[in-house]
Structure 1
Amino acid sequence: MQVIMFDRQSIFIHGMKISLQENIPEIDIYPVSQADELWRRLLEYPDALLILDGDMDKSFCSWLLQEKAQQFPFSYTVIVTSDCQQGWLRESLAWNVQAIVPRHESVETFVQAINSAACGLMCLPGDWSFGYESERRGLDMLSHRQREILELLANGESNKEISRTLNISAGTVKAHLESLYRRLDVKNRTQAAMLFGACELSIQSYSE
């Protein structure tokens, strides 16, 4: 397992590297502290799991995650943060973030999060799971047709492409989308797709 760790705290990187190597024998960790070095590592190991310091400037983190998701779409990310209540963290789930781990958590929790993320499973702070259970119930309330449309939307298809796939008019697609936006309490297709993707993934919770 190849892991790139991008963190501003060299002591944290050093300690975590030793601990993870003791608990995940097959892991190879590449510590990084500069953005240009990160891109070199990602080019060298495009499928590597990224462990990102989420305590850095949120604008930088958001930009970095979006760029990484576009350039390295098969590379997952684990965010380490001192504050799991930062609003941008939920948005980050749309950018291949599979786990968010409080910085003070035990090595066992980090091992669980990394192993889950490497398998494409989601590992979130315990109190987040309740929100996703509620959102999942919202998806369950959609009609079969609305779920079909939402799934195609989440796959990146346009209204015209959805209408062709389902053999319905573009106007009908638009009407269904407006209805499901209201039902899911989202404002646009991006938020709807993000909600669908997050709720369709297996969520593994851990206690804070």
Structure 2
Amino acid sequence: MTDGQARCLIVGGDQLLREGLQRVLSGVVDVVDMFDTLIHGMNGRSEPPAVDIVLLLEWHPGDLQFLECLRRLRSGSPKRRVVILGRDLDAWSIRVALKEGVDGYLVRDFGAPALLHSLHLVLLGEGVFPRRVVQQLLQGGVENGGLSRHGEMPVLSNRQTEILERIANGQSNKEIARGLGTSEATVKVHVRSVLRKIGVENRTQAAIWAHAHGVGQGELTPRPSAAAAPV
């Protein structure tokens, strides 16, 4: 384990899959624990394991006991990241994941480089979701109809629109700052203003809102990791 390397918990799947992922992830995180299931792993624990990121190979959005265990796992640290590595997508499961504060929802149809890149972005504080997730949510409709909290279409400045486009195209604050030739602190101020104006709470919702309104039509994912999108 290198100095400062994040500690990871892998949950679900069979033992062979977990051990295989442990080898794949060794350059990005240090896998310090593995559970066969989340419920079994959390039973009997007074405190959740001390990890920085949790990789869920199982996702049961309709299981209240499972969701309660997930909340207990997250309660140990508000900065603990949770990423789902699932088999498929459906809009309801994605909505539950977002409601539970999951930081990434990935599908097992891409290679190790894309997974490593996605987890790196999550550890930097980004949310990482495939473009198909955004499409699934848009098919279900945008809950507020694209209006601001006051019921009116928001008016964004040229700079705010440009920043929203870059959020929708998957750029982090650091990348936006570099592209615009400004400071990351300035970008953070603009991002907060954009979120407030369009009536959303985070970058994931901002990207969905942007694509629903034709803002940022490029790929959500920065190349070469075309499978997942930071939002």
Match for 1:28: what amino acid? D
Residue 31 of structure 1: aligned partner: 34
Q: Distance in 2 between matches of 1:28 and 1:41?
A: 23
Shift in Å at residue 75 of structure 1? 1.3
Contact kept in structure 2, 1:76 and 1:117, CA below 8 Å: yes
Shift in Å at residue 85 of structure 1? 1.4
Contact kept in structure 2, 1:136 and 1:199, CA below 8 Å: no
What SS class does the counterpart of residue 201 from structure 2 fall into?
Answer: helix
Change (3 A) 1:41 1:103: farther
- Which residue of 81, 85, 88 corresponds with 2:90? 85
What SS class does the counterpart of residue 125 from structure 2 fall into?
Answer: coil
How do 1:1-208 residues align onto structure 2 when only pairs under 5 Å count?
A: 1-21=6-26, 23-24=27-28, 27-29=29-31, 30-34=33-37, 35-38=39-42, 40=45, 43-45=48-50, 47-56=51-60, 58-59=62-63, 60-85=65-90, 87-130=92-135, 131=137, 135=142, 138=145, 141-143=148-150, 196-197=201-202, 198-200=204-206, 205=221, 206-207=226-227
The percent of aligned pairs where both chains have the same amino acid is: 11
What SS class does the counterpart of residue 113 from structure 2 fall into?
Answer: helix
- Measured against aligned partners, the alpha-carbon deviations of 1:77-132 in whole angstroms (never above 9, x if no partner) come to 00011111161232211223111111232111211221121122111121223446
Change (3 A) 1:139 1:71: farther
Contact kept in structure 1, 2:87 and 2:108, CA below 8 Å: yes
Q: Distance in 1 between matches of 2:145 and 2:75?
A: 29
Q: Which runs of 5+ in 1 are unaligned?
A: 148-183, 185-191
Change (3 A) 1:70 1:201: farther
Q: Which runs of 5+ in 2 are unaligned?
A: 1-5, 155-197, 211-219
Of Structure 1 and Structure 2, the greater helix share is in 1
TM-score by length of structure 2 reads: 0.54
Q: Distance in 2 between matches of 1:201 and 1:65?
A: 25
The root-mean-square deviation of aligned C-alpha atoms, in Å, is 3.9
Change (3 A) 1:94 1:28: same
Shift in Å at residue 141 of structure 1? 3.9
Change (3 A) 1:75 1:14: same
What SS class does the counterpart of residue 56 from structure 2 fall into?
Answer: strand
Q: Distance in 2 between matches of 1:61 and 1:37?
A: 11
TM-score by length of structure 1 reads: 0.59
Q: Distance in 2 between matches of 1:3 and 1:53?
A: 13
- Measured against aligned partners, the alpha-carbon deviations of 1:14-46 in whole angstroms (never above 9, x if no partner) come to 11111111x42xx2102222535447596341x
Shift in Å at residue 50 of structure 1? 0.6
